[in-house]
Amino acid sequence: MARSAKAIWRAVMRSAGLCACLVLAFSLAAPVLAQSKATLIADSMAITPGDVLVATGDVEVIHEGYRLMARRIVYDRTQNKLVIDGPISLDDGQSVTILASSAELSDDLRDGLIRSARMIIDQQLQITAGTMQRVDGRYNAMFTAAASSCKTCLGRAPLWEIRASRVVHDTVEKQLYFDNAQFRLAGVPLAYFPRLRLADPTLERATGFLVPKLEVSTSLGFGVKLPYFIALGPSKDLLITPFATDLGDRSVALRYRQAFSTGNITVDGAVSSDTTENGKLRGYVLASGNFRLPADYTLRLRGETVSDAGFFSQYGLTEQDRFVTSAEISRAKRERVEQARVLGFYSVRSRDNNATQPSQIADYERLQRLDMGDFGDLSFGISAKLRQRASSDPLDGPDPDGAADGRDVGGFGLSGEWQKSALLPYGVLGQATLGVRLDRYRVDQDAVYAGDYNRNTAAFAAELRWPLIKSSADGGTHTLEPMAQVVLAPENALRLFNEDSALVEFDEGNLFALNRFPGSDRIEASNRANLGLNYTYAAPNGQRLQLSLGRVISANTVQQFADASGLGQARSDWLVAGQLDMNSSLGLTARSLFTEDGDVRKLELRSAVKANKTALSLGYLYTPADTDEQRADTISEISLFASQTLSQRWNASVTARYDAQAEALSKSGAELVYRNECLKVDVSLSRSFATSSSVDPNTVFGLSVAFLGFGGQAAGVAEQCRG
């Protein structure tokens, strides 16, 4: 459709205004804007006899990142002043937009008076005021002001707002200062503050109070947490969270963080004086650090301790009951892995004795791989270790566990492995592996095993794999791969004690390993055959199904592994594992061990479903009791996590862990979150039951309310005005 004559005339006049602006920018306004030129666009412009420029229509000024739009602008060159008629829109080019009815500003837009103003910060927080004073382009002082990030509907007060006699916005420090502030909820005054300072929405780190939280628990009663954040600089901060309850319990939690050019540290801790311990001081410290060192080394630090067994459970912090203090230096490259570490262990489990367990450990390991081309691959390693107990008793004391209470162990080892792969006729893949290991031990403070020991072992393996591949009509690929490995190894290896290899996981990852023990105290002995079958289906759309079946047949009748591992007999249990990936909408992982009679030895199931607004994660674990694996009770446990998006503003989630052996819940919880453009409400309820470190169950109800629009808190979906 052809444009109307009026529209064409308006475009011509606007173009004429643009041309006039270019002329004026270099003539009339040149003395004022010599250092920084401005662009002025208007429907019409005129110059009065007193050298006053009058621009009318759709007026637009662009100057040093500012963008001013108005109905009429009068520029007085003698006073360097702009008189502006609205509606006015002033954008600073970053995060602040000011709307007003009229204004008187300096020619650089940095100083002046604005009337009937509304300032919008980061499209979230709105502040309305009768008048606004701009000072040096940095400060915006608003008088008789009201601030809120809530959507305002005609004839209805916002959900919440802060009214003040004056509000000053510092655009450099990104702070808001309120004088005589009054907090209102749905129009009803609830609190008064003579002075109040808040961070504007664009500032993510600022000193001040964070969202308070109310908690009610059966062990502590009703309490209030009031976190206070201190920005100590651009790279470090401190969070202090006092917690007081109506039963007289008092605690303070601390979190310190600092970032360096090469790493970071985090220290969490708390100290408490509560009624449950008759005012005795209690607390914990959890610290960690990670650093990059020269030559691609990495340093990891960790420190953990707690005053007593029930502290974490009582305060609803974590279920951790064994703690590690460690320092580790490591480096991993394509052909070399190196690691050195020192560890200290501390347990609050009722069955653990810290004096008679290895509590101080130091070890070093280096593994080097060499590519020898047609001659295969060669790798060799060196290792050293030291394990110490706090006790010095060479006998197994009053709480017998099969180990001398004070036994200390030190030693070093050398290992080497040669491996060669080849493609055989009919697509069969062959591989030969030869491994050797030399170990030297020294045992002290042990009436039975004290002394020096040598252990030399070797093993040879020959492996065949035959991958059979077929393409289906739908474009998918089926792969069936039978595998067989024969291992020749000595019938017996030195067996003194077993401290670092008590727990053996038999799975598809170590079905064809020369040694299935995870540590160095045990070496797998005897001739054996490892048999397996893999099936994989890969669909064109990325969906994937994988199934594995395997078993070990050993010639050794001496039991090397615990029964619960599935490797306790000469003929191992059947290993069955599978994985299903349906492009993130459905994921399923299963791993199980079955005896020859078809009974389940171990079972682990994990599934995750995500569809539209629903997410579900379900897991099941079954592991029988076994004294060799230091597990006194059978574990049969179901875990559940589910979340549901009820609407754009409501989300709900539940968690549960069910002990099928005891036929009782061990932990449960629910959370309901509401979030709109200016408010977040989080309601939670959780209950934990008795554990190895706490005999008292605890129920905790939590409530937190956050008023969004300050300090980098993201807004939700805005409410809609009705009626």
Taking only the tens place, the pLDDT of each residue in 256-299 is: 999 999 999 999 999 998 666 666 788 999 999 999 999 999 99
Cβ atoms of 646 and 582 closer than 8 Å: no
As a residue count, the chain comes to 723
Cβ atoms of 264 and 289 closer than 8 Å: yes
Give the whole-angstrom CA distance, residue 225 versus residue 255.
Answer: 14
Give the whole-angstrom CA distance, residue 430 versus residue 485.
Answer: 10
pLDDT of residue 6: 43
CA distances in angstroms from 542 to 546, 587, 588, 681, listed in the order given: 13, 13, 15, 39
Question: Residue 28 burial (CB < 10 Å; 0-12/13-18/19+)?
Answer: middle
Q: Is 498 helix (H, G, I), strand (E, B) or coil?
A: coil
Q: Which two tokens stand for residue 436?
A: 């050797």
- pTM for the model: 0.80
Give the whole-angstrom CA distance, residue 144 versus residue 134.
Answer: 15
Residue 220, CA atoms < 13 Å, CB-side half-sphere: 28
Give the helix, strand, coil percentages of the chain, each rounded to 5: 5, 60, 35
pLDDT of residue 54: 92
Give the whole-angstrom CA distance, residue 303 versus residue 291.
Answer: 15
pLDDT of residue 317: 78
pLDDT of residue 36: 55
Give the whole-angstrom CA distance, residue 723 versus residue 228.
Answer: 41
pLDDT of residue 540: 92
pLDDT of residue 277: 63
Query: Where in the chain are the domains?
Result: 5-205, 467-631
pLDDT of residue 695: 53
Give the whole-angstrom CA distance, residue 434 versus residue 401.
Answer: 37
pLDDT of residue 502: 85
Q: Which two tokens stand for residue 308?
A: 């007593």
Torsion sign (Cα): 199, 204, 208, 212: positive
Low-confidence ranges of the chain (pLDDT < 70): 1-36, 274-279, 690-696, 712, 722-723
